[in-house]
Structure 1
Amino acid sequence: MPTSRERLIDAAFALFDERGFEETTVDDVAERAGVGRTTFFRAFKSKEDVIFPDHAVVLGAIRDRLASATDATAPVAVTEAARLVLLHYLGEGDRARIRYRLTRSVPTLQAREVASQRQYQQAFRTFVHEWLGGTAETELRAELMANAVVTAHNHVLRRWLRGQIGTAAAQSEFHEAMAEVLRLYGSAAGGTGGHETAVVVLRTSRPLDEVLPALREAVGGSAEG
């Protein structure tokens, strides 16, 4: 049997879709759910909170998944953490589509959605920055990658919300989009302090013992021959 909180969420989304967000009152939602006004405010602080009932839970799941990663599994963790958000929306079905319509037409809800996305983005940025070495030199790369993760996710999600693709296609397109993000920004492994080693392959007719000293000087090392 649904809890009073679940009944309130269902009632709110139905009424917002039927009448509009501004035209629906807290009393309307409580009456449709079969509970009192006091019960509504025990579950939610405002009408806006009903639109984003699981944001804190999803954000916590993202952080938990990222926190469990190692340097070697960081790319997989980033993909799986972003996928958690996509799966949450896909699982909501029509409720997610109602939210999409509302956030496009109600400025206060749009601002709330943007703020939520920034929290997701910050979680990815913090993780990626540490993964790439946590130095000043990796801050921009981490910011770019976090932006790209959210952008890739939103691109696929919007196509699903608009009915342009089905659920299976959304998951497939998401994996392709994340593969592109990792190709562009995720090639550097963590634990290197932000430094990368370049390997250069040359063709030359000069003897090896003449070439090695120049190579050692170029890479700043003293590799064994």
Structure 2
Amino acid sequence: MARWEPDARGRLMLAALALYTERGYEQTTVADIAQRAGVTERTFFRHFTDKREVLFDGSATLQSTVVAAIADAPSDALPLDVIGAAMERAAVSMQDRRDFARQRAAIIAATPSLHERELLKLATLSTAAATALQTRGVPPVPAALAAELGVAVFKVAFEQWISDSPDFPTCIRAALAELSALHRA
């Protein structure tokens, strides 16, 4: 094992994704990941609480991006416009990680034990967005509805992005347009 190489966290993430793809999530151990990354298990646990968290490491960043975008929106903007712009900002921040997002989504889809954690991540995002909207003065029920719709738009656009569209923000705008069309129908 090498004495020290930079970016242990990044190497651990790449090693985990490769191993989850090759062997499956359930068949991969922390020891396997650490060995592939050229670090000790102790180093793994300095960066992640468990092997699942490698896949959910960006959740806090996603949430803070959405909450900041909501806070930054013009004060006269409508709640759905605010949440749409927040989801688009999140998409912009994720745009250069499409390959990672594709691999991550495939691993989660193939691993039933990870589905619950993915749903929890999205529910936490919705709650944070609703709270941020309420901070702007949006009443609780409209804030919760707008936040849930925003997360639904994010999910639909994310699936389109990793499947066949190279531009995540465009997918967000298209999903928002579809939502708007539903309202008018």
Q: TM-score, normalised by structure 1?
A: 0.69
Is the CA contact (8 Å cut-off) linking 2:20 and 2:28 kept in structure 1? yes
1:140-219 aligned at under 5 Å gives the runs 140-161=141-162, 163=163, 165-168=164-167, 170-179=168-177, 181=179
State whether residues 149 and 181 of structure 1, in contact with CA within 8 Å, keep that contact through their aligned partners in structure 2.
no
How far is the alpha carbon of 1:83 from its aligned partner?
Answer: 1.7
Q: Determine if the alignment matches structure 1 residue 44 to structure 2 residue 59.
A: no
1:11-63 CA-to-partner distances (Å, cap 9, x unmatched) read: 10011111100111111101110111110011111000111112112212222
1:193 corresponds to which residue?
A: none
Q: For structure 1, which segment, 145-154 or 35-44, has the greater mean C-alpha deviation from structure 2 after superposition?
A: 145-154
Say which of 14, 21, 34 aligns to 2:18: 14
Summarize the Cα distance change of 1:88–1:123 in structure 2 as closer, same or farther, 3 Å threshold: same
Q: State the alpha-carbon separation in 2 of the partners of residues 159 and 74 from structure 1.
A: 26
2:128 is equivalent to residue 123 of structure 1: yes
SS of the residue 1:167 aligns to = coil
Q: Matches of 1:60 and 1:133 in 2, distance apart?
A: 19
Structure number with the bigger relative contact order (C-alpha 8 A, sep ≥ 6) is 2
Give distance in 2, aligned partners of 1:54 and 1:173: 20
Larger Rg: 1
Identical aligned pairs, as a percentage?
30
Q: Residue type of the partner of 1:25?
A: T
- Equivalent residue, structure 1, for 2:104: 99
Of stretches 171-180 and 14-23 in structure 1, the one that deviates more from structure 2 is 171-180
Q: Report the equivalent of 2:69.
A: 65
Structure 1: 5+ residue runs without aligned partners?
186-225
Note the C-alpha offset of 1:173: 3.3
The answer to whether the aligner puts 1:3 opposite 2:43 as a matched pair is no
Aligned length: 178
Root-mean-square deviation (Å): 2.4
**How does the TM-score come out when normalised to structure 2?**
0.83
Q: Which is richer in helix? A: 2
Q: 1:144 to 1:183 in 2, by over 3 A?
A: farther
SS in 2 for 1:93: helix
- Provide the C-alpha distance between the structure 1 equivalents of 2:6 and 2:99, rounded to a whole number of angstroms: 18
